[in-house]
Amino acid sequence: MTAEKILYIEDNRDTASAVKIILEGEGYEVALAYNGKSGIRMAKKDFDLYLLDIMLPDMSGWDIFEKIKKKGRKFA
């Protein structure tokens, strides 16, 4: 069985690392991006879930959401 893939975009590296450890412990595959620009670039790959920090230094999580959505990703 293939692990579900999560892209977590979070500028606080300590928080990102802690959440990644927890999620990987539950069997998820987690990719990290530390700013909006790299997160949008990474979102070109297929992920099952996007976790977005709303307050990033280069753009808001809402902006990232809109950009990913425009690229044809489906959100529930």
Digit-coded pLDDT (tens) for 4-46: 999 999 999 999 999 999 999 999 999 999 999 999 999 999 8
Per-residue confidence band for 76, with pLDDT thresholds at 50, 70 and 90: low
CA distance 63 to 55: 10
Give, in order, the Cα–Cα distances in Å from 29 to each of 26, 35, 48. Answer: 9, 19, 10
Task: Please name the residues in contact with 67: beta carbons below 8 A apart, sequence gap of 6 or more.
Answer: 40
Q: How many domains does the chain have?
A: 1
Give, in order, the Cα–Cα distances in Å from 36 to each of 24, 46, 55. Answer: 22, 17, 10
In percent, the amount of the chain with pLDDT more than 70 equals 95
- Residue from 31, 32, 27 nearest 2 by CA: 27
| Structural domain includes residue 73 | yes
| Structural domain includes residue 64 | yes
| The pLDDT of residue 17 | 99
The boundaries of the domain holding residue 71 are 39-76
